[in-house]
Structure 1
Amino acid sequence: MRPHRLLPALLAPLTLLLAACGGSSSAQTSAGGAGDGVDGKGSLTLNVGDQKGGSEAVLRAAGELKDLDYKIKWSTFTSGPPLLEAVNAKAVDIGAVGNTPPVFAAGAGSKITVVSASHGNADGEAILVPEDSSLKKPAQLKGKSVAVAQGSSAHYQLIAALKSAGLSIKDVKVSYLQPADALAAFNSGKVDAWAVWDPYTSQVLGSKKGRVLIGGEGLVNGLNFQVAAPSALADKEKSAAIEDYLARLRRAQDWVFKHPDAWAKVWSKETGLPYDVALAAVKRSNGTRVPVAVDKAAIASEQKIADTFTALKLIPRKVDFADFVDPRFNGDLPPSTTEARSYQEK
């Protein structure tokens, strides 16, 4: 579903972004600090899957790519599912995804292991409707068309939002569209609503093209994960590099908490988003992420997502999410339910 007339100024930056989930695309080697997609030095290379404006950008902005005694080779993916396909194929040792792609990968029997988590506000997860839409509450979505990326965190958020209104996914007309096509469909009136995540939410709100019908707070768990290849974890040297890499990411997130404006400037440059939109997304969701333990609460929350998609026959088999988790890097991290505000106050 692609209308002939798009809104180039609105669409172009967003097509650069990596979604937290959903979609299919091949990887591209990142330019990296030296222009060759590799940081650090040494005989060991850690292959890292990333998203535009993701781990590499925040590590570089926080100065955490200095003094590496191993190399990081960056590969950029458009979304979580293809990144996890690369992890399963051992082409990537570790990479960042949202809360739903690991469930679908587990359901497909992929060889993946969740090793780290972060928890943030879910305000950026939203069902959007046009500014002039007559829809005022989720129950009014019955019979309406909704765009969403299949297998994405927004996919689960849509299901949860409908359930909260006494509806099911069968009560709406679902259009499975990736963000670029969904944005075009939304702006041209081809769909009545769009279930999506930040920074798309902030982009639409900032452009005054739409408003939030219902947000994700209280409906989705706000978790994001680092997922590793079991073969990399079984390698003593790569496992040590992964431990160091995760520690650097945690320090970088602390830097984001202390420098949200500076991070928004970096993120704006990386993604092509206007600074004010990037700053809104950082304050709403991107900059609220807290490094947390992959604990029993996180596993239980993900199990709920897995069971939901299994019941809907959207994944082919029952998934025991605990089988895809390795808590060895939890250390003294706070519980997965820790809120950003309480974390910052420590």
Structure 2
Amino acid sequence: MTDLRQRHRAPLALVVLMLATLLSACSGAQATTATRTVPTPGPVSSADLAGVTLKVGDQKAGLQALLKASGQDKDLPYAVEWSTFTAGPPLLEAAASGAIDVGTVGNTPPIFAGAAKSPVSIVSASRGEGQGDAILVAKGSTATSLADLKGRTIAVTKGSSAHGHLLLALRKAGLQPSDVKISYVSPSDGYAALKNGAADAWAVWDPYTAAAEKEIGARILVSGVGIVNGLGFQVASNRSLADAGKNAAIADLVTRSARAYQWSASHPDEWARVYSSETGLSLDVTTVQAHRSIKRPITLDPEAIRSSQDLTDALASGGFIPASFDVSTIVDHRYDAAVAAVIGKA
């Protein structure tokens, strides 16, 4: 895990009114569920906010690069400490332990965290089409469908969005998880396994999908289109949500993130260039990712919760989590009004 320190200070008088208005909209909401209530604290002063260090979990070429590319990292009225994770599951573990306050993950990791009763909540969402979510086969593979992989090894990161995609794709194809050999690996090990033949297929997401296509000639056997819900989530530690200063900083970060997602959707080539610069991935790879895996901010609407519930039920029926549960119990709507204002649904 790599920690980076980033401090940007805004003219406080310019941000305190904005944040006070934002928190006023949020203060009437709280995550009331069948199992817990996370209190929503009130606004904080600009001086108190200036003393906050928000610990943000990220993944490869994730939110940090996106905020930089879109200009949304400028004039932050609090400090940010970034930590990079290989995938969503370890990021969720860090949030649960208090090592980070907030982070961005795919659609599946919060379900595993919820099943484990981790003290973490979903606080915002984005949606894509799932084109970059893929089950890949190696160059030269003769497989034309998932049925051709019966008895074969499929590499995937346990608890990741790709894990959910694999399960749903198998179900759609009329197969059981037991019909294939699932090998749990990190994304980097999955790449190597597909390249050297240790795995017959690899379930993964962009930019890893694009990198494998461009660098080793991998082919998409099954994309996530029509299978996955395309959701990405920002998740936060319940302890941080109950802290006035952290809550104010998260509210601001959620708003900036929504603006950044909107920017990337309308500026894919600019996003690809920054993405390449920040990660060292080739421009060919990042251009594919930027045009294919477009994410747009959404509120935590009933459809997002319903589709997440469907995935939860599928994971439970497949024995990947102990039992299904009500997904709404891990969703906190306090920032919905702020996101709605950004996307014009206020």
Letter in 2 for 1:316: P
TM normalised by structure 1 equals 0.83
Q: Check if 1:29 corresponds to 2:3.
A: yes
In the TM superposition, what whole-angstrom CA distance separates every residue of 1:43-96 from its partner, at most 9, and x where no partner exists? Answer: 122221112311111112222222222222222222211211121122211111
Within-5 A mapping of 1:209-224: 209-224=217-232
1:310 aligns with 2:316: yes
Match of 1:258 in 2: 266
**Is the Cα–Cα contact under 8 Å of residues 162 and 204 in structure 2 kept in the other structure?**
yes
SS in structure 1 at match of 2:337: coil
Q: What pairs with 1:1-16 in structure 2 (closer than 5 Å)?
A: none
Give the aligned residue type for 2:254.
Answer: L
Report if aligned partners of 2:7, 2:76 keep a CA contact under 8 Å in 1. Answer: no
User: How far does the alpha carbon of each residue in 1:236-284 deviate from its partner, in whole angstroms, 9 at most, with x for none?
Assistant: 2322221111111111122212321111111112221100111001111
Number of equivalent positions: 303
Q: Distance in 2 between matches of 1:79 and 1:183?
A: 14
- The answer on 1:227 being equivalent to 2:235 is yes
**How far did 1:313 drift?**
2.1
- SS at 1:68's partner residue? coil
Tell me, yes or no, if the aligned pair for 1:146 and 1:193 is still in contact at 8 Å: yes
**1:332 positional shift:** 7.0
Written as runs of structure 1 = structure 2, the 5 A alignment for 1:76-155 is 76-155=84-163
Question: 2:302 pairs with 277, 284, 296, which one?
Answer: 296
1:18 corresponding residue in structure 2: none
Question: Amino acid of the residue matched to residue 210 of structure 2?
Answer: S
Secondary structure in 2 matching 1:331: helix
- Shift in Å at residue 163 of structure 1? 1.4
Q: Which amino acid aligns with 2:227?
A: L
Spell out the pairing of 1:195-206 with structure 2 (5 A cutoff): 195-206=203-214
Deviations 1:85-134 (A, max 9, x none): 12112221111111111011111110001010000120111111122111
In the TM superposition, what are the counterparts of 1:163-202 in structure 2 within 5 Å? 163-202=171-210
Quick check: 2:261–2:297 contact (8 Å CA) kept in 1?
A: yes
Question: Contact between 2:272 and 2:283, CA under 8 Å: does it hold in 1?
Answer: yes
**How far has the Cα of 1:318 moved from its partner?**
3.0
Alignment RMSD (CA, Å): 1.8
**2:23 corresponding residue in structure 1:** none
* 2:82 aligned counterpart, secondary structure: strand
User: Hey, what does 1:322 align to over in structure 2?
Assistant: 328
Query: Is 2:168–2:314's contact at 8 Å kept on the other side of the alignment?
Result: no
In structure 2, the CA distance between the partners of 1:52 and 1:165, relative to structure 1 (3 Å rule), is closer
The TM-score, its normalising length taken from structure 2, stands at: 0.83
- Consecutive unaligned residues of structure 2, counting only runs of 5 or more, are 11-49
Where does structure 1 lack aligned partners over 5 or more consecutive residues? Answer: 1-26, 31-35, 335-342
Q: What residue is the counterpart of 1:11 in the other structure?
A: none
Q: 2:255 aligns with which of 247, 250, 273?
A: 247
Percent identity of paired positions between Structure 1 and Structure 2: 47
Contact 2:57–2:83, Cα closer than 8 Å, also in 1: yes
Q: What is the distance in 2 between the residues matched to 1:239 and 1:109?
A: 21
